[in-house]
Structure formats: structure tokens, C-alpha cells
Structure 1
């Protein structure tokens, strides 16, 4: 209980910072962190490049949509409620078995992948919207893995930079997060979550736990208690159509 109170107090500090026009106490360093968090999910995504097939029946058009009722959490802070409606990505998938109903390998085009930022419009903390000017942009770098239409199992390796900013006053180096978003269970030493298998309409819930390393920003390291763990739970829909 004491930990949650401390974390909530830290967020109150950030709220006050976000409403000030100046903030000389915070460094405005824009250097990028090259540290990459290691996935601590209990599952590894299949990332091997599949064999190219000349059979159009083995190729699929994949569309990935994020929905509402998601949650994000970091360290020992209470979780953020996140409405991710509007997130979308596309990929061409290829069957990795002789039966196209089974496992499909997908590698999403990062240029088409959009994940809504965390703002006062999309995110709530302790029942309240994020404070004005506070924004967390999500910049994906990798989104690939396997989808099994027969079992409903989804395993997608996800790597992205999370950019914290307060208007034009402050912008921190990115927090690099790498994990496997799975329809099964993901757990670390602090955080855990359980997903939900994809159903006949492509609806699923994906969860991933990851380590988050310190960055080149003393304020953020202190504020978030880095190094630590984070968890993401995404409600999503995966639409699969044959291209042949």
C-alpha cells in the first residue's frame, strides 16, 4: 500500500510539471537510448523467415486492429486503463505448414503500423484522465511472429520506443520495450498477465511482460524506478483473408 501511495505521489508531481510553462529542473536531453529490454515472456516468437511459396493459396492478407479495454502498467504503479481503438497494422502472411488452416507467419509493415498514443483522451489512471500536455507516443520497430488459426494461438514479437513528453517543455529519451505478445500467459518477477486465444471472428487478448532498462535521464529513472518491469494487455482483432 505504501508503494502505491509513493507511486501515486510521483504521478501527482508529473501532473504539476505538465501544467507549468517552464521547468528548469528537468533536463531536456534528446539523446536516444540504445538500450534494449530483453523479453522475459515465457514464450518466444517464431521469427525465422519462411520459405517463399509459389502457391497463392498459402499467402494471406493480415490486418491487426487494437480495441478498447486495454491496460498498461510499469513498475509498481497501478495500471493505466488504455483505449487503443484506431490502432492498425497490415501484413502479408505465409502458411508454414502444408495445411493453410494452421500456423501462419506474419511480419507487419512498420510503415503501416499505428498505435494510438497515451493521452488524456485515450488513457486513465486511478479513474482520471492523464493530465494535460502529458503524452506517451509509441514508435514500433518490430512486430512479427505466428498466428495459428486452428488453435487460436498468437505469438508476436513486439519492440517499440515509448516517448514521454510534456508539451514542448520536456521530452525524455525513449524507453525501449521488447516482449512477446501472446494469447497465453506472460510473467516476470514483478508483473504477469494472461491472454485469450483468438476466436472465429479474430478477437483475442494479447499480453506481454518486459524488462525496462534505465535511460539517459535521471528524472525518468527516479520517477519510474528504473530498471523495472512493464506489462501490456491488448484487446485486438486479427482479420485474415486469402490473397489467392
Structure 2
């Protein structure tokens, strides 16, 4: 399995030695001096490359599912969700192909469950119902060789009915994984990253009671919830030029 990491700079001005990684996911370019630079200019220009640090892009897509308690799953179209993060290659004999990834939760956007995005029992949610998702943590490990993904996800789910009713947030904390996630009443199986960066992430979480009798009774809290997200995760590598005076 191979994944492409794209450079945001198509050309570097100097030829420098680069050790070629073993896995085809990492692509290195031949660095050739530009003819417009003379010998003196070339001698004062140094190319600084950070081969072990990456920009990471996360996008959610359609055909997702969210379920809670023993109720049937919500059919959820998460198209348009996105986030940006930083990946750092983990060094050591025990970290073969593993990269730690940390997404900026302040700019991470996941679409709300509304009548436009969500169906329950084949019917759209009523227009006045809304469940907003506010992420607090999204980070973990992605293996760029095997495609395995394990990302800790923590978010508050805000349930509201127009301006009439707004419940305290439900706190959901789970491990979104490309492997299998299994609880006592809920379970799901994910899919690892393919060559285009597509994957299916699943996570089972326990939802604790909140200070709201209606929600606690309706959802039978504490209970389990299940998230199934189809997503795309892509990596790009920055190459920077610095000039010594």
C-alpha cells in the first residue's frame, strides 16, 4: 500500500543529498540549481527541509452513521467537514511507519445533525431539531505503511429544539479507529487508509448522565453510542528555503 505525500514547493534551488526512505509513500525530488543564480549566490543559499514533519488534512464525507443506546442508527451525511493538523514521524525501532498527528480542534469542523444532513428511520430530522458537534480533542497515531488509524476524539454534543429547549451537552470521548471498536451493546469495524487516503473510522463511547431528566430518560443514560465516519486523510510536506547572509 502506498500513499502520496505532496510537496507544496515544486522546485528547490540546490542539490543536496537526501537519504531515500524505504517506503514508496515518501517521494523525494531531484534538486537542481537554477541557472539564474551565480556561484556566489548559490554558496550563500541553504535549503532547509523538514522530512519528518507534515501538514495533515482531514475531510469527512457522506454515508456516515451515528447511533446511541438501542435506537436505530441515524443516517448521517458529514460531507463538508474538515480539519488541519500537524504530523510528526515517530523515530525508533518500535515506531515503524507511525506518525503522531494532532489536529487543531479550534478550527476542526464537523457538520451538525439537522434535517439537511440526517435521517432517522428513513425520514429527515424535523426542522426544529439540531445536534451540534463541538470538538475538544482530535489526535493520535497514523501508520503510513499499514494504513492503520487510531485517533482520540472528544467532543460535546449539543441537543436543541429551536429556541424552546437546549439540553446540557453530552460529552463523547472515544478512539476513532480503522480497526474494530466494540462495546457491550454497540460495535463497528473500520477500514484502513487506501492509496487515496480514504478510510472508515469507527468508535464506541460511553455517554454518562447529564443534569437533565428529559435527556437522561429519553436516551436511557448511561449508555453507549457508536460513530461511523467515512473520511479522507492526506499528508503534504513543506520544504522551505533560508538564506544565510
> What TM-score, normalized by structure 1, do the two folds share?
0.76
1:228 matches 2:223: yes
Richer in helix (by share): 1
| Aligned match of 2:80 | 86
- 1:138 alignment partner in structure 2: 133
Match of 1:122 in 2: 117
Where 2:227 maps in the other structure, the secondary structure is: strand
Partner of 1:9: none
1:160-197 alpha-carbon deviations (Å, 9 max, x no partner):
00000001000000000000000000000000000000
Q: Paired residue for 1:102?
A: 97
The CA deviation at 1:132 is: 1.5
With normalisation by structure 2, the TM-score equals 0.76
Out of 56, 60, 68, the position equivalent to 2:62 is: 68
Structure 1 vs Structure 2 CA RMSD: 1.6
2:49–2:238 CA contact under 8 A, matched in 1: no
CA distance in structure 1 between the partners assigned to 2:97 and 2:59 by the alignment: 21
Give the deviation of 1:97 after TM superposition. 2.7
1:1-244 correspondence to structure 2 within 5 Å:
56-97=50-91, 102-244=97-239
Q: Which structure has more strand as a fraction of its residues?
A: 2
Structure 1: gaps spanning 5 or more residues: 1-53
Equivalent-residue separation in structure 2 for 1:55 and 1:143 (angstroms): 27
Which structure has the greater CA radius of gyration?
A: 2
